[in-house]
Protein backbone atom coordinates (compact mmCIF):
# COMPACT_ATOMS: atom_id res chain seq x y z
CA UNK A 1 0.00 0.00 0.00
CA UNK A 2 2.16 2.86 1.30
CA UNK A 3 5.46 3.38 3.07
CA UNK A 4 5.22 4.18 6.76
CA UNK A 5 5.85 7.79 7.72
CA UNK A 6 8.74 8.42 10.09
CA UNK A 7 6.24 9.37 12.80
CA UNK A 8 2.54 8.71 13.21
CA UNK A 9 0.46 10.96 15.43
CA UNK A 10 -0.42 9.21 18.70
CA UNK A 11 -4.04 8.51 19.42
CA UNK A 12 -5.72 11.35 21.27
CA UNK A 13 -7.74 11.01 24.46
CA UNK A 14 -10.85 11.78 22.43
CA UNK A 15 -10.11 8.99 19.97
CA UNK A 16 -9.37 6.55 22.79
CA UNK A 17 -12.63 7.41 24.55
CA UNK A 18 -14.74 5.90 21.75
CA UNK A 19 -12.55 3.50 19.78
CA UNK A 20 -13.92 1.01 17.24
CA UNK A 21 -12.99 -2.59 18.12
CA UNK A 22 -12.16 -5.28 15.57
CA UNK A 23 -12.05 -8.73 17.22
CA UNK A 24 -10.16 -11.43 15.34
CA UNK A 25 -9.59 -15.13 16.08
CA UNK A 26 -5.82 -15.44 15.57
CA UNK A 27 -4.44 -11.91 15.36
CA UNK A 28 -2.47 -10.10 18.07
CA UNK A 29 -1.52 -6.55 17.08
CA UNK A 30 1.70 -5.09 18.48
CA UNK A 31 2.72 -1.44 18.79
CA UNK A 32 5.10 -0.51 16.00
CA UNK A 33 3.77 -3.17 13.62
CA UNK A 34 1.66 -2.77 10.51
CA UNK A 35 -1.42 -4.83 9.81
CA UNK A 36 -3.12 -5.07 6.41
CA UNK A 37 -6.83 -5.81 6.81
CA UNK A 38 -9.64 -6.76 4.47
CA UNK A 39 -13.11 -5.93 5.82
CA UNK A 40 -15.94 -7.84 4.22
CA UNK A 41 -18.51 -8.47 6.97
CA UNK A 42 -21.31 -5.91 6.96
CA UNK A 43 -20.72 -4.79 10.55
CA UNK A 44 -17.07 -4.07 9.90
CA UNK A 45 -17.85 -2.34 6.64
CA UNK A 46 -20.21 -0.17 8.72
CA UNK A 47 -17.37 0.43 11.16
CA UNK A 48 -15.02 1.55 8.41
CA UNK A 49 -17.66 3.80 6.84
CA UNK A 50 -17.99 5.54 10.21
CA UNK A 51 -14.22 5.80 10.60
CA UNK A 52 -13.96 7.46 7.18
CA UNK A 53 -16.97 9.76 7.56
CA UNK A 54 -16.93 10.63 11.27
CA UNK A 55 -13.73 9.28 12.75
CA UNK A 56 -11.70 8.25 14.46
CA UNK A 57 -9.37 7.00 11.76
CA UNK A 58 -8.21 4.41 14.24
CA UNK A 59 -9.26 1.14 15.82
CA UNK A 60 -8.30 -1.51 18.34
CA UNK A 61 -7.59 -5.06 17.22
CA UNK A 62 -8.19 -7.66 19.89
CA UNK A 63 -7.93 -11.42 20.13
CA UNK A 64 -11.13 -13.43 20.58
CA UNK A 65 -11.09 -15.77 23.54
CA UNK A 66 -12.86 -18.86 24.81
CA UNK A 67 -15.61 -20.49 22.75
CA UNK A 68 -15.94 -17.51 20.42
CA UNK A 69 -17.24 -19.56 17.49
CA UNK A 70 -20.52 -20.27 19.29
CA UNK A 71 -21.34 -16.54 19.41
CA UNK A 72 -19.31 -15.14 16.55
CA UNK A 73 -22.25 -13.27 15.02
CA UNK A 74 -22.97 -11.65 18.39
CA UNK A 75 -20.52 -10.33 20.96
CA UNK A 76 -18.13 -13.17 21.82
CA UNK A 77 -15.66 -12.75 24.65
CA UNK A 78 -12.50 -10.81 23.84
CA UNK A 79 -9.17 -10.11 25.53
CA UNK A 80 -9.31 -6.72 27.20
CA UNK A 81 -5.65 -5.99 26.43
CA UNK A 82 -5.38 -5.08 22.76
CA UNK A 83 -3.31 -3.22 20.23
CA UNK A 84 -4.57 0.15 19.00
CA UNK A 85 -3.48 1.83 15.82
CA UNK A 86 -4.13 4.50 13.26
CA UNK A 87 -5.47 3.88 9.75
CA UNK A 88 -2.72 5.00 7.39
CA UNK A 89 -4.25 4.00 4.07
CA UNK A 90 -7.58 2.60 2.89
CA UNK A 91 -9.50 1.71 -0.23
CA UNK A 92 -13.20 1.03 -0.72
CA UNK A 93 -13.90 -1.64 -3.34
CA UNK A 94 -16.80 -1.42 -5.74
CA UNK A 95 -18.71 -4.07 -3.77
CA UNK A 96 -18.35 -2.11 -0.53
CA UNK A 97 -15.52 -4.12 1.00
CA UNK A 98 -12.50 -2.28 2.40
CA UNK A 99 -8.76 -2.80 2.29
CA UNK A 100 -6.77 -0.85 4.84
CA UNK A 101 -3.39 -0.57 6.50
CA UNK A 102 -3.24 -0.14 10.25
CA UNK A 103 -0.17 1.09 12.11
CA UNK A 104 0.11 -0.04 15.73
CA UNK A 105 0.70 2.77 18.21
CA UNK A 106 0.04 1.48 21.71
CA UNK A 107 -1.18 -1.22 24.05
CA UNK A 108 -4.58 -0.44 25.46
CA UNK A 109 -7.00 -1.82 28.01
CA UNK A 110 -10.53 -1.97 26.65
CA UNK A 111 -13.70 -1.14 28.54
CA UNK A 112 -16.54 -1.98 26.17
CA UNK A 113 -19.21 0.62 25.58
CA UNK A 114 -22.94 -0.06 25.11
CA UNK A 115 -24.03 -0.96 21.58
CA UNK A 116 -25.72 2.39 21.03
CA UNK A 117 -27.54 1.12 17.97
CA UNK A 118 -24.32 0.30 16.15
CA UNK A 119 -23.59 -3.03 14.46
CA UNK A 120 -19.96 -3.11 15.62
CA UNK A 121 -18.25 -2.91 18.99
CA UNK A 122 -16.60 0.11 20.59
CA UNK A 123 -14.64 0.65 23.77
CA UNK A 124 -13.12 3.23 26.00
CA UNK A 125 -9.42 2.47 25.67
CA UNK A 126 -6.80 3.27 28.28
CA UNK A 127 -3.24 3.50 27.02
CA UNK A 128 -0.77 1.15 28.73
CA UNK A 129 2.73 2.59 28.73
CA UNK A 130 5.84 0.45 29.13
CA UNK A 131 7.13 0.01 32.67
CA UNK A 132 10.91 -0.06 33.03
CA UNK A 133 11.30 -0.48 36.77
CA UNK A 134 14.58 -2.45 36.76
CA UNK A 135 16.93 -0.87 34.16
CA UNK A 136 19.90 -3.06 35.11
CA UNK A 137 17.84 -6.25 34.84
CA UNK A 138 16.45 -5.07 31.51
CA UNK A 139 19.95 -4.47 30.17
CA UNK A 140 21.08 -7.87 31.45
CA UNK A 141 18.32 -9.77 29.63
CA UNK A 142 18.55 -7.69 26.42
CA UNK A 143 21.96 -9.16 25.49
CA UNK A 144 20.82 -12.82 25.34
CA UNK A 145 17.64 -11.77 23.55
CA UNK A 146 19.68 -10.12 20.79
CA UNK A 147 22.11 -13.05 20.60
CA UNK A 148 19.37 -15.66 20.36
CA UNK A 149 17.43 -13.57 17.86
CA UNK A 150 20.57 -13.32 15.70
CA UNK A 151 20.90 -17.12 15.72
CA UNK A 152 17.25 -17.49 14.71
CA UNK A 153 17.59 -14.94 11.92
CA UNK A 154 20.69 -16.71 10.56
CA UNK A 155 18.68 -19.93 10.18
CA UNK A 156 15.64 -18.18 8.75
CA UNK A 157 17.81 -16.47 6.13
CA UNK A 158 18.83 -19.86 4.78
CA UNK A 159 15.31 -19.98 3.36
CA UNK A 160 14.39 -16.28 3.26
CA UNK A 161 17.62 -14.40 2.41
CA UNK A 162 16.02 -10.95 2.68
CA UNK A 163 14.53 -11.50 6.13
CA UNK A 164 15.50 -8.97 8.81
CA UNK A 165 14.15 -7.85 12.17
CA UNK A 166 15.10 -4.20 12.03
CA UNK A 167 16.50 -4.16 15.58
CA UNK A 168 19.93 -3.70 17.14
CA UNK A 169 21.52 -2.89 20.48
CA UNK A 170 20.36 0.73 20.19
CA UNK A 171 16.66 -0.18 19.84
CA UNK A 172 14.71 0.73 23.01
CA UNK A 173 14.10 -2.47 25.00
CA UNK A 174 10.30 -2.37 24.85
CA UNK A 175 10.36 -1.72 21.11
CA UNK A 176 12.96 -4.46 20.67
CA UNK A 177 10.73 -7.01 22.42
CA UNK A 178 7.66 -6.00 20.42
CA UNK A 179 9.39 -6.16 17.04
CA UNK A 180 10.90 -9.56 17.73
CA UNK A 181 7.61 -10.87 19.08
CA UNK A 182 5.72 -9.63 16.03
CA UNK A 183 8.15 -11.16 13.55
CA UNK A 184 9.13 -14.42 15.24
CA UNK A 185 6.41 -15.51 17.67
CA UNK A 186 3.49 -17.06 15.78
CA UNK A 187 1.23 -18.78 18.33
CA UNK A 188 -1.66 -16.40 19.19
CA UNK A 189 -1.84 -17.12 22.91
CA UNK A 190 1.92 -16.67 23.27
CA UNK A 191 1.67 -13.39 21.38
CA UNK A 192 -1.17 -12.29 23.64
CA UNK A 193 0.92 -12.98 26.74
CA UNK A 194 3.68 -10.81 25.29
CA UNK A 195 1.20 -8.04 24.48
CA UNK A 196 -0.06 -8.13 28.06
CA UNK A 197 3.46 -7.83 29.50
CA UNK A 198 3.60 -4.11 30.25
CA UNK A 199 6.71 -4.66 32.38
CA UNK A 200 9.54 -4.58 29.83
CA UNK A 201 11.77 -6.93 31.82
CA UNK A 202 9.00 -9.54 31.90
CA UNK A 203 8.31 -9.06 28.20
CA UNK A 204 11.97 -9.50 27.27
CA UNK A 205 12.25 -12.63 29.40
CA UNK A 206 9.18 -14.13 27.72
CA UNK A 207 10.54 -13.21 24.29
CA UNK A 208 13.82 -14.90 25.13
CA UNK A 209 12.03 -18.08 26.22
CA UNK A 210 10.07 -18.09 22.96
CA UNK A 211 13.25 -17.56 20.93
CA UNK A 212 15.05 -20.42 22.68
CA UNK A 213 12.14 -22.74 21.82
CA UNK A 214 12.03 -21.47 18.23
CA UNK A 215 15.77 -21.90 17.78
CA UNK A 216 15.55 -25.49 18.97
CA UNK A 217 12.71 -26.17 16.53
CA UNK A 218 14.60 -24.64 13.60
CA UNK A 219 17.77 -26.57 14.39
CA UNK A 220 15.89 -29.83 14.67
CA UNK A 221 14.08 -29.21 11.38
CA UNK A 222 17.32 -28.43 9.59
CA UNK A 223 16.07 -25.29 7.84
CA UNK A 224 14.54 -21.88 8.35
CA UNK A 225 10.98 -23.15 8.57
CA UNK A 226 7.87 -21.14 7.82
CA UNK A 227 7.25 -17.62 9.08
CA UNK A 228 3.79 -16.50 10.12
Residues 26 and 101 in one domain: yes
Provide mean pLDDT across the span 116-132. Answer: 96
Q: For residues 112 and 180, state if they share a domain.
A: no
Where does a domain end: 99, 128, 157?
128
C-beta separation of 180 from 211 below 8 A: yes
The answer as to whether 7 is a domain residue is no
For the segment 186-198, what is each residue's pLDDT rounded down to a tens digit? 999 999 999 999 9
Query: What residue numbers bound the domain in which 102 lies?
Result: 13-128
Q: Which of 72, 104, 128 is the last residue of a domain?
A: 128
Q: 120 with 179, same domain?
A: no
- Whether the pLDDT of residue 82 is over 90: the answer is yes
pLDDT digits over 158-196, tens only?
A: 999 999 999 999 999 999 999 999 999 999 999 999 999
Residue 194 lies in a domain: yes
* Mean pLDDT value of segment 60-83: 87
Q: Are residues 26 and 110 in the same domain?
A: yes
Task: Confirm whether 110 is domain-assigned.
Answer: yes
pTM above 0.85? yes
Q: Would you say residue 2 has pLDDT above 50?
A: no
Number of domains in the chain: 2
Domain finish residue from 93, 128, 163: 128
Same-domain check for residues 27 and 115:
yes
Quick check: is 143 in a domain? yes
Residue 167 lies in a domain: yes
Q: Please check whether residues 180 and 77 belong to one and the same domain.
A: no
Q: Note the pLDDT tens digit of each residue in 104-115.
A: 999 999 999 999
- Give the model's confidence band at 126: pLDDT under 50 very low, under 70 low, under 90 confident, else very high: very high
Is there a single domain that holds both residue 51 and residue 101?
yes
CATH code at position 106: 2.30.130.40
- pLDDT score for 1: 38
Q: Are residues 181 and 198 in the same domain?
A: yes
Q: How confident is the model at residue 3 (pLDDT cuts 50, 70, 90)?
A: very low
Q: Are residues 152 and 111 in the same domain?
A: no
**Mean pLDDT to the nearest integer, 65-80:** 82
Tell me the average pLDDT across 118-147. 95
| Mean pLDDT along residues 80-93 | 97
Residue 47 lies in a domain: yes
Give the model's pLDDT for residue 7: 63
Same structural domain, 177 and 93: no
| Same domain assignment for residues 65 and 124 | yes
pLDDT, position 223: 58
Residue 1 lies in a domain: no
Mean pLDDT for the stretch of residues 67-91:
88
The per-residue pLDDT of the chain, averaged, comes to: 92
Specify whether 121 is located in the same domain as 17.
Answer: yes
Looking at residue 194, its pLDDT comes to 98
Name the percent of the chain lying above pLDDT 70: 94
Q: Is 2 among the domain residues?
A: no
Query: Using one digit for the tens of pLDDT, what is the confidence trace for 207-220?
Result: 999 999 999 999 99
Amino acid sequence: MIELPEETEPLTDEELSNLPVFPLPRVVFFPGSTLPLHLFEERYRDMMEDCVSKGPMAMAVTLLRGDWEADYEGRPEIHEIAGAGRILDWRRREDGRFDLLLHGLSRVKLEELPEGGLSYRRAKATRLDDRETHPEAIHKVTTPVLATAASVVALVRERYPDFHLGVDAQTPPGVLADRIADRLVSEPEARQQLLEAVDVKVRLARVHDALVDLLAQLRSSGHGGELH
